[in-house]
Amino acid sequence: MSEAPNLFAQQAKNRRQTAVWVAFFVLFFAWLGFGGDAALYYGSIDANGQAHYTVPWMGIVVTFIASLVAWNSWSRGPKRILWSTGAVELTTPHTTEEKQLLNVVEEMAIAAGLPRPKVYVVNDPDPNAFATGHGPETAAIAVTSGLVQALNREELQAVVGHEMAHIRNLDVRLMTMIAALVGVIVLLSDGMGRMFRGGGGRGLGALLGGRGKKVGGGAITLVILALWLITLLLAPLISRLMAMAISRNREYLADATGVQLTRNPAALAAALQKIEASETPTTSIKGGAAHLCIADPLGRAANLKEGRLADLFGTHPPMVKRITILRGMAYQQTKSAAPQA
């Protein structure tokens, strides 16, 4: 197998997996918004089989409020992330390393066929990098000062290529949207929980208990209501797990697309090896931006191991697995370039 088919197969696989997870995310959000309406509908059926709750007001109101909150998070998210990390835009380079960084970003932007993103530097000794924005026109790449100092030019190019891949694949847009939806789901779960604990569910209980049992619809109503309430309770955890799964898939995809831009999988493997060897977390980057980074800045154990725990709770794929895949690409590249005997 040549390097190119292996590379594009990786990209296609990760795009398919991301599409499935995004579909699950949308369906889950719809269930949270309209599941209560379904219970109300079945619970409002009278002895004549007539439903008295026909307009899904709960879902409409929740969707409207969620849209406002999500739009606010979406529009301000990238600026908040850069501000929270203390990132400073690099416009005029003063050192050889800064000049090299701007040159590399320019090269990778040309290779990707995109406008050159703004470049930011985070004053932190731990090597790391991330991309943010709403799309190629508003994107920004941020690297830590430790990354610039730790990597040689080829390795820096590979990391910037990885971040440029996030921009090219619209991951910056996708992950900003997913982060906004997770925030909305957490607020929704908390708000609805407070409403029911405060007695706001009495009207729901009265409606469900008043009619459905007369025509045998009580069982369906109670099952739907129980599933909806359980889902609402677990919604913050479930939404975060789905967001982590999407984030892991996009990291694999960015690795493969970055290699497509640089044609140097060995350099990215070497860069990830140096990043992994760093013993201290990236203290300047907090949890809100952790999923955007090339490596988990918090040093969480779930991101360091392979297996079910990493597959479920890790925001990033295991670094050892990523390096192994990249080295496999480098081997295929070397094999295909070798003269045939």
Q: Answer for the pair 155, 262: CB distance below 8 angstroms, yes or no.
A: no
- Please pick, among 155, 163, 251, 279, the residue that the annotation labels catalytic: 163
C-alpha closest to that of 269 among 338, 172, 314, 334: 334
User: What mean pLDDT is predicted for residues 65-80?
Assistant: 79
The domain limits of the chain are 3-337
Q: Is 97 a catalytic residue?
A: no
Residue 297 confidence class, pLDDT cut points 50, 70, 90 = confident
φ and ψ at 55, to 5 degrees? -105, 120
pTM above 0.85, yes or no: no
pLDDT at 216: 44
pLDDT at 339: 67
As a whole number of Å, the CA-based R_g of the chain is 24
Cα 69 from Cα 74, distance rounded (Å): 9
User: What mean pLDDT is predicted for residues 131-139?
Assistant: 89
Hey, which residues does 122 pair with through a beta bridge? 144
pLDDT per residue as tens digits for the range 248-265: 888 888 998 999 899 999
pLDDT per residue as tens digits for the range 277-294: 886 777 787 766 777 889
Cα 305 to Cα 159, 219, 263, 311, 313, distances in angstroms: 22, 44, 28, 9, 11
